[in-house]
Structures are given as C-alpha cells and as structure tokens.
Amino acid sequence: MSEKRRIRVASKADLIASGKMSVQVEKYDVALFHVNGEFYAWRNFCPHFAAPICHGVVTGTRLPSNVYEYRYGYENQIVRCPWHGWEFDLKTGEHLADPKTRLRGFPVETDEESVYILV
C-alpha cells in the first residue's frame, strides 16, 4: 500500500472566512468546510445524483422530538444537497436519514496557516 501524500488545499484564514470552498486536487473535486473550529474535506458530490455538495446550504436541522415539539440543532454542521435536499453531517459525512449513505472524505491536517488533505 502506498503512503498518502500531504497536499496544501487552502489557507486557514480563507476557509474560515468563507466557511466552505471547492478545490481541484489532481483528479479529485474536493469540498472543504470549516465547522465549529474544525476543518473537513469531502469529495464534492452527493452520493444521490452527484450534485456539487459545496454548493449546498450549510445549516442545522430538526432533531428528533415529540409531536408538535420542534427542536433545532447541529447549527452550521449540516450541508443540504443543492439539487434534492439530502442532508449530511459535515463532521461524519453521514446522511441524516440513512447513516450507511455517506459522503466520501479525505483526512485533513492543518498548521498555523494552511489546510492540507492526504491523498
């Protein structure tokens, strides 16, 4: 098995300011997200119909609750597919309704100024 390569994909300041961005890294279209102080990198396509997930709205979602009780949570941690509204947890990549369906991601490393992915 070959060793993964560390590739710089963004400055931390730019990603923090924008919250999300897409970058091309070799053959991969990568969606980068800044979520509650952490950085995440996912393949930039929804597993449903390959929509560019980086174009989706980053939001929270309703949590399980009793009838007529609406609880909101995961603020700025959920990305909603721009085409069909499928929701994914940006920290885990899991689809909220079916955790077996998930975004495919890359390990992320940072230093004081940059964000890197391992490919």
Q: Domain 6-118 carries which CATH code? A: 2.102.10.10
pLDDT tens profile 31-80: 999 999 999 999 999 999 999 999 999 999 988 889 999 999 999 999 99
pLDDT at residue 64, rounded to an integer:
85
H-type alpha helices, the chain: 12-18
Q: Across residues 85-114, what is the average pLDDT?
A: 96
Plot region of 91 (φ>0 → left; ψ -120 to 50 → alpha; else → beta)? alpha
pLDDT at residue 74, rounded to an integer:
94
Q: How confident is the model at residue 1 (pLDDT cuts 50, 70, 90)?
A: low
Residues above pLDDT 70, as percent of the chain: 99
